């Protein structure tokens, strides 16, 4: 019940931390995880991705407070309650984020987290497989624990999406995780040999094979702090309250919801809020739980005139055959998340790097798998990447077993609705190109009649969904920043021996899905915790559109 390093959470960052902190054999590492096994096809089969995020067995089951700007809807806010955390229930999409995201982190006080500092960690963590589809090998990793691949893109609609983007005058890119993010191109997946390549498969299982790394199934109640230092964690195991001691440090990697919750239950957070719940204040940090961010997205759906979409498999017999093929061979439609083409675009001239992301899918269906449009269709998931809206995670009670209150405050900034309208109209422009002519039927959603700003705004309020990318609630910044929770070494300001290393420390949300930057955070934090010199900074420069101040279209089109 003690170890040098006690890690709370076995998710994307926590698994990477366990792997790296135990790697040299000099330190004992104990991972605390409440969730159960990730065995079985619902998690391991990529095409089954809509199941685990909707199963209470694997998901904490959190919901937002009623969102005022979204017709007071309460949105699902899934987080993984399972070995591997959210990397075991996510969509397996791999996006590093844009160089500009990390340079912004550094400019806002996260010294040492600029793009030149994080790129070497992205390369260290990857084994990249281009699958003969092109790419940017000089920017990619070759021997890391995390396998990254591309789908086969055998469905003609995947190529139609990229070609339509080119026809509309936008950039194309061979590798949005390489030098050039901007443009239409192949999407990347954390899938290997037909299986979900979660942080559990990549990092945690190899770590647990070592004699100095172990995992304890338990519920973490709070961090124990004595004389200003974290000395352990109070846990509930089988109804008994016990103490796990940390000889060196406690590291929270429990998600953008649970990391701030645990800090507040431990007496670290906004003093007045803690006082409301009768919690003694150890460190008055007003930023704990604040700065909550996410990506919202819409599903723009079009009927397909040709029966080539995945709808033909939307029945029990076909699903059973796909599952059987996957179980026997690890191949077929079951071996892909079906997100195989993507785009990153700039919404308007004067935006320096992309602020819109697309996932393209050759079926018209909700992300949670609950509703498929009747008949053949295709869709683009689209949304702005850098909303200025901010929310908060707060305590509902001093009971550790109570869910936190989650209020994203979605669409509360004046730019949010115009940004989303731009996304809808841009998607319609892309779907109207000649590349889609052989397939294009009627628009399913929003529908041809939804054209005016007011009508689009009504559609957004009713249909915008979370992309499940919460972050920012334990913001990393300069020690003298009153809103910062951790310093650039991930140390909780005001308490010794305690760090946070997960997506909650992101000062601002990155461009794209958050699994990759969360793993990178665990990788980079591990070197800091062990007192190692950081990997040498990279001198690679990302591509920036030469006419970004005046145009959103392809540079060649300006000539």
pLDDT digits (tens, 9 = 90+) for 300-331: 999 999 999 988 888 888 889 999 999 889 99
Q: Are residues 268 and 300 in the same domain?
A: no
Q: Are residues 497 and 446 in the same domain?
A: no
Q: What is the DSSP letter of 471?
A: B
Q: Are residues 255 and 162 in the same domain?
A: no
pLDDT confidence of 559, banded at 50, 70, 90? very low
- Name the residues annotated as catalytic: 469
Q: Which domain holds residue 509?
A: 1-147+191-292+472-534
Question: Is 393 within the bounds of a domain?
Answer: no
Q: Are residues 224 and 349 in the same domain?
A: no
> Quick one: 278 exposed, middle or buried, by C-beta within 10 A (0-12, 13-18, 19+)?
exposed
Q: CATH number for the domain including 241?
A: 3.50.50.60
Question: Is 284 within the bounds of a domain?
Answer: yes
Q: Are residues 215 and 199 in the same domain?
A: yes
Question: Is 258 within the bounds of a domain?
Answer: yes
Q: What is the pLDDT of residue 71?
A: 98
d(CA 275, CA 288): 14
Count CB neighbours of 453 within 10 A: 10
User: How confident is the model over 337-344, as a mean pLDDT?
Assistant: 95
Q: Are residues 116 and 209 in the same domain?
A: yes
Q: Are residues 225 and 320 in the same domain?
A: no
Q: Does 6 show up as a binding residue in the annotation? A: no
Structural domains in the chain (count): 2
Q: Does 93 show up as a binding residue in the annotation? A: yes
d(CA 519, CA 121): 9
Q: Does 82 show up as a binding residue in the annotation? A: yes
Q: Are residues 448 and 512 in the same domain?
A: no
d(CA 54, CA 465): 15
Q: How far is CA 485 from CA 77, 287, 408, in A?
A: 23, 6, 19
Tens of pLDDT, residues 231-252: 999 999 999 999 999 999 999 9
Q: Are residues 67 and 3 in the same domain?
A: yes
Q: Are residues 259 and 378 in the same domain?
A: no
Q: CATH number for the domain including 324?
A: 3.30.410.40
Question: Which of these three, 404, 433, 463, is where a domain ends?
Answer: 463
pLDDT confidence of 555, banded at 50, 70, 90? confident
Q: What is the pLDDT of residue 166?
A: 98
To the nearest whole number, what is the mean pLDDT of the chain?
95
Q: Does 264 show up as a binding residue in the annotation? A: no
Q: What is the pLDDT of residue 314?
A: 81
User: How confident is the model over 516-541, as a mean pLDDT?
Assistant: 98
Q: Does 233 show up as a binding residue in the annotation? A: no
**Is residue 558 predicted with pLDDT exceeding 60?**
no
Tens of pLDDT, residues 358-373: 999 999 987 566 666 6
Q: How far is CA 74 from CA 54, 70, 406, 461, 488, in A?
A: 15, 9, 10, 12, 34
Give the 3-state secondary structure of 335-401.
HCCCCCEEEEECCCCCCCCCCEEEEEECCCECCCCCCECCCCEEEEEEEECCCCCCEEEECCCCCCC
pLDDT confidence of 270, banded at 50, 70, 90? very high
Q: What is the pLDDT of residue 54?
A: 86
Strands 29-33 and 213-217: parallel
Place of tokens 């809206």: 389
Q: What share of the chain in percent tops pLDDT 70? A: 97
Q: How far is CA 211 from CA 22, 26, 29, 208, 377, in A?
A: 9, 11, 10, 7, 52
Tens of pLDDT, residues 66-96: 999 999 999 999 999 999 999 999 999 999 9
Q: What share of the chain in percent tops pLDDT 90? A: 90
d(CA 196, CA 353): 30
Query: Tokens representing 69?
Result: 């700007």
If phi > 0 it is left, if psi is from -120 to 50 it is alpha, else beta; for residue 548 that is alpha
d(CA 526, CA 547): 39
Phi, psi of 338 (to 5 degrees): 70, 5
Query: For residues 36 and 62, is the Cβ–Cβ distance under 8 A?
Result: no
Tens of pLDDT, residues 371-380: 666 789 999 9
Q: Does 155 show up as a binding residue in the annotation? A: no
Question: Is 550 within the bounds of a domain?
Answer: no
Question: Is 79 within the bounds of a domain?
Answer: yes
């Amino acid at each position: 019940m003690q170890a040098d390093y006690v890690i709370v959470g076995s998710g994307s960052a926590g698994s990477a931390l366990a792997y790296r902190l135990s790697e040299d054999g000099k330190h004992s590492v104990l991972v605390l995880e409440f969730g159960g096994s990730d065995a079985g096809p619902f998690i391991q089969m990529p095409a089954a991705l809509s199941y685990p995020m909707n199963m209470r067995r694997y998901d904490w089951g959190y919901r937002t407070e009623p969102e005022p700007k979204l017709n007071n809807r309460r949105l699902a806010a899934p987080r993984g309650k399972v070995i591997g955390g959210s990397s075991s229930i996510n969509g397996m999409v791999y996006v590093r984020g844009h160089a500009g995201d990390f340079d912004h982190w550094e400019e806002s006080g996260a010294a040492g987290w600029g793009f030149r500092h994080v790129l070497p960690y992205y390369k260290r963590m990857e084994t990249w497989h281009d699958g003969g589809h092109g790419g940017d090998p000089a920017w990619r990793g070759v021997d890391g624990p995390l396998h990254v691949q591309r789908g086969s893109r055998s469905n003609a609609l995947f190529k139609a999406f990229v070609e339509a983007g080119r026809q509309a005058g936008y950039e194309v890119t061979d590798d949005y995780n390489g030098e050039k993010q901007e443009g239409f191109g192949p999407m990347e997946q954390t899938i290997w040999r037909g299986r979900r390549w979660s942080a559990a498969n990549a990092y945690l299982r190899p770590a647990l094979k070592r004699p100095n790394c172990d995992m304890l199934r338990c519920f973490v109640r709070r961090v124990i702090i004595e004389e200003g230092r974290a000395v352990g964690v109070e846990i509930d195991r089988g109804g008994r309250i016990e103490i796990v001691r940390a000889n060196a440090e406690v590291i929270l990697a429990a998600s953008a919801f649970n990391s701030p919750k645990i800090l507040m239950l431990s007496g670290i957070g906004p003093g007045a809020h803690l006082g409301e719940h009768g919690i003694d204040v150890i460190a008055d940090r007003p930023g704990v739980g604040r700065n909550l961010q996410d990506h919202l997205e819409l599903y723009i759906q079009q009927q397909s005139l040709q029966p080539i979409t995945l709808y033909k498999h939307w029945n029990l017999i076909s699903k059973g055959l796909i599952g059987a093929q996957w179980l026997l061979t690890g191949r077929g439609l079951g071996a892909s998340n079906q997100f195989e083409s993507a785009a990153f675009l700039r919404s308007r001239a004067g935006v320096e790097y992309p602020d819109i992301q697309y996932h393209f899918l050759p079926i018209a269906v909700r992300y949670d798998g609950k509703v498929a449009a009747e008949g053949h269709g295709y869709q683009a998931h689209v949304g702005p990447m850098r909303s200025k809206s901010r929310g908060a995670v707060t305590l509902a009670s001093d009971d550790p077993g109570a869910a936190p209150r989650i209020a994203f405050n979605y669409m509360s900034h004046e730019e949010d609705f115009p940004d989303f309208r731009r996304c809808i109209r841009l998607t319609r422009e892309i779907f109207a190109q000649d590349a889609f002519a052989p397939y294009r039927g009627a628009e399913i959603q929003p529908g041809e009649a939804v054209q005016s700003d007011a009508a689009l705004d009504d559609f957004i309020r009713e249909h915008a969904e979370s992309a499940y990318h919460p972050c920012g609630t334990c913001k990393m910044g300069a020690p003298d920043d009153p809103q910062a929770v951790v310093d650039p070494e991930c140390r909780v300001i005001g308490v010794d021996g305690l760090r946070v290393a997960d997506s909650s420390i992101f000062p601002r949300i990155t461009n794209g899905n958050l699994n990759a930057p969360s793993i990178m955070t665990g990788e980079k934090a591990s070197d800091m915790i062990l007192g190692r010199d950081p990997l040498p900074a990279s001198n690679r420069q990302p591509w920036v559109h030469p006419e970004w101040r005046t145009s959103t279209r392809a540079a060649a089109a300006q000539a």
